[in-house]
Amino acid sequence: MQKQIEEKVRAGARITEPEAEFLFRQKDLLRLGKLANAVKEKKNGRGIFFNLNRHINPTNYCKNRCRFCAFSASFGDPHGFELSLPEMEEIAQKAGDIYEFHLVGGLHPEWDFEFYLEILRRLKKLRPEVLIQAYTAVEIDHFSKISGLSLEQVIAQLKIAGLDAVPGGGAEIFNPKVRKKICPEKISGKRWLQIHQALHRAGIPSNATMLYGHLETYQDRVDHLKRLRLLQDRTQGFQAFIPLAFHPLNTRLNHPYYTTGIDDLKTIAVSRIYLDNFPHIKAFWIMLGEKLAQVSLWFGADDLDGTVEEEKITHMAGAQTPEALAGEELIRLIREAGREPVLRDTLYRVKKIRRRRGTSRNDE
Ligand code: V47
Ligand code: SF4
């Protein structure tokens, strides 16, 4: 079957779900990586994208309290927080020379939709040159519920307030049986897909994620990828797919294991091969670790996300990575992997890298 799949992929044909499952089970990691890399290079050559961005979490108070989430809090919890509008403005002002604000947080039990809109307006007013990638499908569904507005009305208002793109969070794993165990209060996979369809229809690009390495099976992962590929065939609105490795610390999921390096690389590679209609596969270095993220650039990944500057979701669940990497450090990781760094904004528009001497020992 391996040879058959390879021939198919190299000819530019699609693989089926049983074939994707076969790839997850096969042991020859380097052979799998080579195939994924061929797909990656056909799509975007030697280039590896990265962004200069700033993550902002407005609050971690959340009605849902998903079992895998160490970030969220209830009122009275010592680690609970909510930022005021001036605090968010201060972060935005100090954020330096960046291209993106990445905003994601909890479903605050008391904030109204107007407040979430005001965050966008204030950031846009302060930094009109910075694109805003904000609010997952889970938050957008929440806005519709608390405002009484339709999904389409909510999206239209977010757009007017300054929303440029939507991140891929909240997808987790679509299989309802697993979903019920890991995040019983969260919107269904069906609703997540419906929201992204509505976003694409409104001209707002988005990303898609998959949380893996917990209770799901390979079959569940392939089912997840299948639903994403099907929607992308219809809308073409997804920009990147990001596999997210489960981090167990401080979570309420009875699964104490971190993912292995082999599984991380495999998941990136199979995603690259199966999701033939997704322009980009992102290796989120925060979750993978810088070293494995660098290796993944030969296993199908073509994007490292960005500088991030501050990350809470994974660090509260045990991530050992730094919370920020300088642009120069990302460039060094990419160059030393033998790849070409391509600075981009949220919409994958290429930006000029301001070269500073000495970014890489082997560079100049
Ligand atoms: O939806 C929560 C995940 C997501 C844990 O679109 C966890 O560019 C691992 O979606 N272990 C939010 N993962 C982050 C996210 C994201 C990140 C970077 C880039 C983009 C993008 C999107 O984080 C949540 C959930 O799937 N998450 N807890 C945990 N313990
Ligand atoms: Fe809330 Fe998101 Fe954490 Fe779930 S993953 S508890 S929705 S912040």
CA 327 → CA 57, 69, 245, 352, distances in Å?
A: 21, 28, 23, 12
Strands 238-245 and 280-281: parallel
Residue type, 29: L
Three-state secondary structure call for residue 76: coil
Query: Is the distance from CB of 126 to CB of 90 less than 8 angstroms?
Result: no
* pLDDT at residue 325, rounded to an integer: 80
22 C-beta neighbours (distance < 10 Å), count: 18
Q: Give Cβ neighbours of residue 174 (< 8 Å, ≥ 6 apart).
A: 189, 190, 192, 193, 220, 223, 224, 227
Pocket of ligand 1 (CB under 6 A): 68-71, 104, 167-170, 172, 207, 209, 211, 242, 244, 246-247, 251, 284, 305, 313-314, 317
Instruction: In whole angstroms, give the CA distance from residue 49 to residue 344.
Output: 6
65 close to ligand 2 (CB < 6 Angstrom): yes
Q: What is the DSSP track for 116-184?
A: HHHHHHHHHHH-TTSEEEE--HHHHHHHHHHH---HHHHHHHHHHHT--BB--TT-S---HHHHHHH-T
Mutation pick for ligand 2 pocket among 183, 251, 252, 315 (CB with most ligand atoms within 8 Å): 183
Q: How far is the CA of 351 from the centre of ligand 1 (A)?
A: 26
Instruction: In whole angstroms, give the CA distance from residue 364 to residue 361.
Output: 8
Written as tens digits, the pLDDT of the chain (364 aa) is 889 999 999 999 999 999 999 999 999 999 999 999 999 999 999 999 999 999 999 999 999 999 999 999 999 999 999 999 999 999 999 998 999 999 999 999 999 999 999 999 999 999 999 999 999 999 999 999 999 999 999 999 999 999 999 999 999 999 999 999 999 999 999 999 999 999 999 999 999 999 999 999 999 999 999 999 999 999 999 999 999 999 999 999 989 999 999 999 999 999 999 999 999 999 999 999 999 999 999 999 999 999 888 888 888 988 888 877 888 899 999 999 999 999 999 999 999 887 654 444 444 3
Strands (E), the chain: 47-51, 53-56, 100-103, 131-134, 206-212, 238-245, 280-281, 303-306, 340-343
Query: Is the distance from CB of 114 to CB of 154 less than 8 angstroms?
Result: no
Query: Is the distance from CB of 191 to CB of 142 less than 8 angstroms?
Result: no
Q: How far is the CA of 207 from the centre of ligand 1 (A)?
A: 11
For helices 189-201 and 218-235, angle between their N-to-C axes, nearest 10 degrees = 20
62 close to ligand 2 (CB < 6 Angstrom): yes
293 C-beta neighbours (distance < 10 Å), count: 26
The first and second tokens of residue 37, run together, are 């890399």
- The residue nearest atom 30 of ligand 1, judged by CA position, is 247
- Cα 121 from chain centre: 23
Q: How far is the CA of 6 from the centre of ligand 1 (A)?
A: 31
Strands 47-51 and 303-306: parallel
* pLDDT at residue 358, rounded to an integer: 44
* pLDDT at residue 117, rounded to an integer: 98
